[in-house]
Amino acid sequence: MSEAALAAPTFRYLESTQTMLVQDDCTDSETAPPPELLALGVRAQVLAPILRGGHVYGIIAVHHNGSARQWTTEDLDAIHQAVRRVDSIVGATGADGLY
């Protein structure tokens, strides 16, 4: 990841909490997405860390443009499933050195 990405409030949140970041409206948040995403119209997002060895080595990112969005339980369950699937695939291939 680039130094700018690692310094972003969203990445710092994921690294420090190691939990999913769910934002129904991220435009006025302390953990707002980078200005480039806001310029593209991102207004809501979910970021889910993929962890290996106690560090974030990947992120599943889902963005919603144009307006705020209430993320549903089904949305969040699907994202959790995606994280588990990617983690399982990476673990099965022995690709622990990706970080």
Range of the domain at 28: 3-93
Query: Is residue 14 assigned to a domain?
Result: yes
Query: Is residue 99 assigned to a domain?
Result: no
| pLDDT of res. 98 | 47
Sign, CA dihedral 16-31-33-69, equals: positive
Query: Is residue 98 assigned to a domain?
Result: no
Tens of pLDDT, residue by residue over 57-75, are 899 999 999 999 999 999 9
Domains identified in the chain, total number: 1
Q: For position 81, which CATH number holds?
A: 3.30.450.40
Q: How far is the C-alpha of 94 from the C-alpha of 89, rounded, in Å? A: 9
pTM: 0.85
The full length of the chain comes to: 99
**Extended beta strands in the chain, E state:** 21-23, 42-52, 55-65
